[in-house]
Structure 1
Amino acid sequence: MLEQLLTLNLFGFFLVFARVGTALATMPGFSAAYVPTDMRLAIGLAIAFVMAPALIAEMPAMPASVSGIAILIGGEMLIGAFLGTIATILMGALQTAGTVIAYVASLANALIQDPIAEQQSSTVASFLLVMGVVLVFTSDLHHLMLRAVADSYSLVTPGQPFPAEDVSQIMARRVADAFALGLRLSAPFVIVGLTYYVGLGFLGRLMPQLQVFFFGLPVQIGIQLWVLAIAVTGMMMAFLQSFGEVYQGFTLP
């Protein structure tokens, strides 16, 4: 009897770790390449160890077949990957905004290695992504992500069939919302850029001898950086509010 109880608890712990660990492996910040693998594993095990006592009662019994165990663990990993990918999609709003801003600020060719996206991005997009990750952790929104993972056991219990249709609809909606948020965040820069280009066109017609490109490019960069300095606070507040609202929808009241 004691052996069966220990086996059940150990199996339940690994089920919790499968969902929690996969969520952490796909969440921004936790999943970054600059975070050592052993540290990520230790964080995942520690969080699963804290959550397990409250969730063990909801864990199903260990299936008798290996295929049943694999299906059960695979379902938990899919749920965890879904919850973590939501945060990555939301971070895409900042990358979209930064890319648009870089284009209208004539900084599209100024590329650096982005530590968050793990690819080459514009300097503005990298700046916004790094700031977004830092603010998510400093404002304790990562606690909301972990709470969403814990509350997901009440929404999708272990052993329940994976809700592929609902997940696909939520993912598609989140991608569309993230793209729309990125465009909204970059809207002031687009308006300023269009206004500047129209004024520069009139100036070129009034003074044909003026070297418009030589004169306009540095001024355009300076104006957009000035607008960024003014608008970055409001942009980050709007992003954090949207980030919190999305994950609040995955938590219980």
Structure 2
Amino acid sequence: MLSDLIQINLFAFFMLFARIGTVFMLMPGIGTAYVPVKVRLTIALALCFILTPLLAGHIPAAPVSKIDLMLLLLSEVTIGIFIGLVARITVGALQTTGTLIALFSSLANALIRDPIAEQQSSLIATFLSMLGMVLIIVTDLHHLMIRGVVESYSLFVPGQSLSFGDFSEMLARRFADSFQLGVQLSSPFLLTALVYYVGLGILGRLMPALPVFIVVMPIQIAGQLAFLMVSLSAMMMYFLSRFEDAIIVFLEP
């Protein structure tokens, strides 16, 4: 009796780890490159150990066939990739916002390593990405991500067939929403840049001998950075609300 119980819980543990471990490899913050793999693995294993008694009832019995076992394992990994990508795509809106703001403020060529996007990014994009992750942790939205993973076992029941059409449709919608959010957050800077360039064109017509780009570029950089300082709190509050809306779809109503 005890050996059967241990075997059932061990199978449930590995099935939970297949989904939760995959999510933790893609989840913003925890799944980024600057977090050591051992740390991510330890957190995922500890969480699976805690959740096994609670979620073991959602895990089907171990299949006899090896093919069925592999299909079950692949379906859990696929669900984990899907959940992790939804969160990461939403955070990518800050990368779009920072890149556009850097373009409007003539700082697009000032590149630095972005640990969130795991690539070279502009200074402003890196700043916004790291600030977004800090605010997600400070406001406990990472708890909401973990809760979404736990409650996903009611939404995506292990062993049931996956709707890849719905998966692809939702991912496409998330990509579109992320880009739209990035453009929305940077739209005030686009308007100020438009006014700036119109004025720059008029000044160039009135004073052809004036090196306007050399004279006015410091004003452009200082003005955009000052505007960023004023609007930063409102931008990040709106981003956090949209991030919460993206994660809450995995929660039970």
- How many residues are matched? 253
Q: Distance in 2 between matches of 1:130 and 1:92?
A: 11
Q: Which amino acid aligns with 1:240?
A: L
Deviation at 1:148, TM superposition (A): 0.8
Deviation at 1:122, TM superposition (A): 0.6
Deviation at 1:207, TM superposition (A): 2.2
Question: What is the aligned partner in structure 2 of residue 59 from structure 1?
Answer: 59
Q: Alignment RMSD, CA only? A: 1.0
Q: Is the 8 A contact 2:9 2:53 kept in 1?
A: no
Deviation at 1:164, TM superposition (A): 0.6
Question: What is the aligned partner in structure 2 of residue 128 from structure 1?
Answer: 128
Q: Distance in 2 between matches of 1:212 and 1:223?
A: 16
- Helix, strand or coil at the partner of 1:77: helix
Q: TM-score, normalised by structure 1?
A: 0.97
- Which string of whole-angstrom CA distances, capped at 9 and with x for unpartnered residues, describes residues 36-90 of structure 1? 1111111001111122111101110101122221111111111111111111101
Q: Distance in 2 between matches of 1:58 and 1:31?
A: 25
Q: What runs of 5+ residues in structure 2 fail to find an aligned partner?
A: none
Q: Is the 8 A contact 2:96 2:182 kept in 1?
A: yes
Q: TM-score, normalised by structure 2?
A: 0.97
Question: What is the aligned partner in structure 2 of residue 247 from structure 1?
Answer: 247
Q: Which amino acid aligns with 1:209?
A: A
Q: Distance in 2 between matches of 1:201 and 1:81?
A: 49
- Helix, strand or coil at the partner of 2:250: coil
Once structures 1 and 2 are overlaid, which stretch shifts more, 150-159 or 198-207?
198-207
Question: What is the aligned partner in structure 2 of residue 18 from structure 1?
Answer: 18
Q: Distance in 2 between matches of 1:97 and 1:36?
A: 28
- Helix, strand or coil at the partner of 1:249: helix
Deviation at 1:3, TM superposition (A): 2.2
Question: What is the aligned partner in structure 2 of residue 169 from structure 1?
Answer: 169
Q: What runs of 5+ residues in structure 1 fail to find an aligned partner?
A: none
Q: Distance in 2 between matches of 1:54 and 1:2?
A: 18
Deviation at 1:28, TM superposition (A): 1.0
Question: What is the aligned partner in structure 1 of residue 113 from structure 2?
Answer: 113
Asked whether 1:152 is paired with 2:152, we answer: yes
- Which string of whole-angstrom CA distances, capped at 9 and with x for unpartnered residues, describes residues 177-224 of structure 1? 000000000000000001011111112222223211111211111111
Question: What is the aligned partner in structure 2 of residue 103 from structure 1?
Answer: 103
Q: Distance in 2 between matches of 1:5 and 1:202?
A: 80
